[in-house]
Amino acid sequence: ETGVTQTPRHLVMGMTNKKSLKCEQHLGHNAMYWYKQSAKKPLELMFVYNFKEQTENNSVPSRFSPECPNSSHLFLHLHTLQPEDSALYLCASSQVPFLDGNTIYFGEGSWLTVV
Amino acid sequence: DAKTTQPNSMESNEEEPVHLPCNHSTISGTDYIHWYRQLPSQGPEYVIHGLTSNVNNRMASLAIAEDRKSSTLILHRATLRDAAVYYCIPGSQGNLIFGKGTKLSVKP
């Protein structure tokens, strides 16, 4: 069992659909993250949750709606997406406070295609 | 956030050492230097991190300049499985900011 598990691994959705990406971490961490990786672009940090509270939203459009019901689970709810939102969505977790350079552990990502 | 400069790409031969450089001249005193790598079709994975002293682990070594404005990730014997994009990320917070990294190719 990997430390950070993402489902589904692949998702194809229409622009009018509503879908969700799920992330679960088994590492006992208290912070979780959503990153987006578009083709040929660096990873972009989207959201940060510390102790279930959102602490960062990097100007992400409202068609992306995160939810963190507890420290182990993180969701990204998707609705009325655009084709340019097609990307690899990566979930990660870490321990905070970020002492001694604590590391971030990533899941394998969910490949999203918007048609 | 500290700005980083890494070569876009590097090539190595299998079984040879690889030195991946990174410049981070605006690094703050409390920033650690993190290195992650991303294999094709996978999420990034942690490689190594350090603050001031050189660091070694089973994957790699990290050499940090005395002024901390640059660092070098050292893979002692590159294998084909080391072909990946390597990211150098100075930071002290949990929200690490990834740049474009260095794409390492390993030739058999």
Rounded Cα distance, A31 and A47, in Å: 11
CB contact under 8 A, B92 and A98: yes
Q: Give per-residue pLDDT as tens, A14-48.
A: 999 999 999 999 999 999 999 999 987 889 999 99
Report residue A100's pLDDT band, with 50, 70 and 90 as the boundaries.
Answer: low
**Coil, helix or strand for A113?**
strand
Omega before B90 within 30 of 0, i.e. cis: no
Q: For residue A2, what pLDDT band results from cuts at 50, 70 and 90?
A: low
Of the candidates B69, B71, B70, which has an alpha carbon nearest to the alpha carbon of residue B60? B71
pLDDT at B69 over 80: yes
CA distance A63 to chain B (A): 22
- Based on its alpha-carbon atoms, the radius of gyration of chain B, rounded to whole angstroms, reads 13
Per the CB < 8 A criterion, the answer to whether A94 and A31 are in contact is: yes
Question: What pLDDT, on a 0 to 100 scale, did the predictor assign at position A39?
Answer: 86
Q: Cβ–Cβ of B43/A101 closer than 8 Å?
A: no
Q: What is the mean pLDDT of residues B6-24?
A: 97
Q: How confident is the model at residue A57 (pLDDT cuts 50, 70, 90)?
A: confident
With a cut of 90, say whether residue B91 has pLDDT above it: no
Interface residue B1 vs chain A (CB under 8 A): no
| Contact (CB, 8 A) for B5 and B101 | no
Which member of B32, B51, B95 has the closest CB to residue A48? B95
Cβ atoms of B18 and B75 within 8 Å: the answer is yes
Q: What integer pLDDT is reported at residue B56 of this predicted model? A: 94
Do A63 and A78 form a contact (C-beta atoms < 8 A)? yes
Q: Which residues of B touch A103 (CB under 8 A)?
A: 34, 46, 49
